[in-house]
Amino acid sequence: MSRAVRSFRLTGAAAAAALVLAGCSLAPTYERPAAPISAQWPDAQAANVQDAQVPAAEIGWREFFRDARLQRVIEITLENNRDLRIALQRVEEARAQYGVQRGEQFPSIGLGAQGTRQHVPQNMRVGGPDSTSISSQYQAGLALTSFEIDLFGKLRNQSEAAFQTFLATEQAQKTAQINLVGQVAQAYLTLRAAESELELVRQTRKAREESFDLVRARYEGEVASELELNQARSLLDSADATLAALDRTRSQARNALTVLMGQPEPGDLPEAAPFDRDQLLASVPAGLPSDLLARRPDIMGAEHQLLAANASIGAARAAFFPTISLTGLLGSGSAPLSGLFEAGSGMWSFSPQIAMPLFAGGSIRSGVALAEARNNIAVAQYEQTIQQAFREVADALAGEATYGTQLDAQRSFTQAQLKTLDLSNLRYENGVDSYLQVQTAQIDALDAQRSLIQTGLAALVNRIELYKALGGGWNEQTVQSDAQVDGESGDGGNAVADQAASS
């Protein structure tokens, strides 16, 4: 067998071995950790939870929030909020980082030129002591910079880790938008509740002023005592103090909403829906706990981080094995610069390099241990994210199960307090009771009315929390026909929202 044939066979065998090894990966086989949660929601029956054809995560926020003014506020917020802009640029940053890392898997080829002039001592001159002491060499052509052959998957695993980090950043952007939509909706409803309370106290102050005028007239007619006059005045002063506090609360709520919107509130917003039964939120189908794994972006992002950590173990393990890199040049070379591109100046160079770690002071083994520890951390963070998501949904379902009863009781209590106030006024005017009874009844009636507004607000906010906890708020429109949306968001699923809004 000729030497050329043996050389060809050896070269082919080496190339085949390289191709086989190039498919190797030292990363552990990925297995999704078991979800550390129950298969059913607590309070699901009490909350009247039902499965639906459209999961909550796919319900568009325009369908969920039914106030045209709030819809416009959310739209402005998504266009101008600075936190959302930062989250978007984080995605672009991760995308670019993945591109950089992926490029390491491919050779870098470009045009190159280099020249060398050096003084050669007499004892090293090729032509003897009388030859020239200055030597020159020039080269130009296509250059292959140091290209690492990824036999053991180090670069491929590093690229995979960067890719999974990029995907996790995309999910983080979705999480940021979901949280932002929920925050702006809650800030808007808080502002509306403050305005409702402010209007209530204004009406109460007007009634107390009329009551004060009545007591003062009775006092001047020597029918009422000075004590009763002071009691009526104290109620009026208390209403003024409450008005100032609520005016401050309203201003602070408006400021918070302005920051979220990223700009001052425009003057052309749609007319706000009344803060009553028209201020409705669509019903939210909870589905099953397992749905969170595929629909909550923070859980999906945590799993991408886990996949990135898993790939990093493979990259760390590859450091135990040899590293092979190539450098080459294809072009022309010449001693004088003038002959660089003349006929017969063609040249090529090929420089393979191999490095095998023998002793590194334990740094390679520690690198693997570090990657494995980070992977264990990622597993715990993934499980923790699932548990936190489960709790958020369970808490919101507990609210759905109880707010309806609480609002009914609060509404009945408020009506009783208002009736007591009417009777107290009547008994005072007829001289049966002292003004102390009227004072107590006025305070109790106002507290009951304000408590009803706050409980209604809490019920609406709880519905928003459930929508957000199930992954809703990313889509603007529901990918579904209007008939299906209307069928799923009918009266049966809106009992709590109706009662909350009616306050």
pLDDT digits (tens, 9 = 90+) for 221-247: 888 888 988 988 999 999 999 999 999
Are 392 and 39 contacting, i.e. CB atoms less than 8 angstroms apart? no
CA distance to 85, 125, 275, 389, per residue, from 199 (Å): 37, 102, 12, 38
What is the C-alpha to C-alpha distance for residues 138 and 114, in angstroms, rounded to an integer? 6
Q: What pLDDT digit, counting tens, does each position of 408-462 carry? A: 999 999 999 999 999 998 988 888 888 888 889 999 999 999 999 999 999 999 9
How close are the terminal C-alpha atoms of the chain, in Å? 98
Q: Mean pLDDT of all residues in the chain?
A: 82
Place of tokens 């709590």: 496
Q: Cα separation of 318 and 448, whole Å?
A: 69
Q: Are 414 and 449 in contact (CB under 8 A)?
A: yes
Cite the DSSP H helix spans in 43-81.
61-64, 68-80
Determine the length of the chain. 503
For residue 143, what pLDDT is reported?
Answer: 78
Q: In this predicted model, which residue has the larger pLDDT, 430 or 46?
A: 430
Q: Tell me the two tokens of residue 450.
A: 């304000």
Exposed (0-12), middle (13-18) or buried (19+): which is 46, by Cβ within 10 Å? Answer: middle
Q: Please give the Cα distance from 143 to 166 (Å, whole number).
A: 32
According to DSSP, residue 37 is labeled S
Q: Among the ranges 49-53, 101-105, 239-243, which has the highest mean pLDDT value?
A: 239-243
On the question of pLDDT at 295 being above 70, the answer is: yes
Check residue 117 and give its pLDDT: 75
Contact 164, 353 (CB under 8 A): no
What pLDDT digit, counting tens, does each position of 145-194 carry? 778 888 888 888 989 999 999 999 999 999 999 999 999 999 999 999 99
Whether pTM > 0.85 for this model: the answer is no
315 and 157 Cβ atoms separated by less than 8 Å? yes
